[in-house]
Amino acid sequence: MVHYIGPDPLRALYEAVQALRRDPSMDGSRTAKLLAQGRARMARKVGEEAIEVAIEAMRGDRNATLMESADLLYNLVVLLSDLGISPDEVMAELRRRELAFGIAEKLPKADDPPVPAPAPVQQKRRKGTKG
């Protein structure tokens, strides 16, 4: 297993995006262009990258899934930055879920139907028995 050691790249990206948001004339980068295109474009890019991750994962292409995952995280951080949500806040929410539920799982939505209890197992009657 590979372990990353170094500065937090999501936090560094978030801070760079925040700096670009404060002064868009600072840079002619892809990030600056994406910010200029607006939140709808940012959200669309997140969706596109998520689909690409899913496609590559279904193909079983580990390297392509890794690359598309990095693209997804990049676009997600740009979108979150536009909404003023820091990676630290996302990590804190994951930690809160872990502490509350034992795992940082996806929470049910308010409109999700309740999970039904399993139906009792009915045994077949044997011939010649009452019941």
In this prediction the pTM is: 0.73
pLDDT for 76? 97
pLDDT of 128 higher than 70: no
Give the residue carrying structure tokens 């999970």: 115
What does the alpha-carbon distance between residue 6 and residue 13 come to, in Å, rounded to a whole number?
14
What does the alpha-carbon distance between residue 15 and residue 19 come to, in Å, rounded to a whole number?
6
Report which of 56, 35, 55 is spatially closest to residue 45, judged by C-alpha positions. Answer: 35
Q: pLDDT for 72-108, tens place per residue?
A: 999 999 999 999 999 999 999 988 888 888 776 666 6
pLDDT of 23 higher than 60: yes
Looking at every residue in the chain, the average pLDDT score rounds to: 83
Give the residue, 64 or 119, on which the prediction is more confident: 64
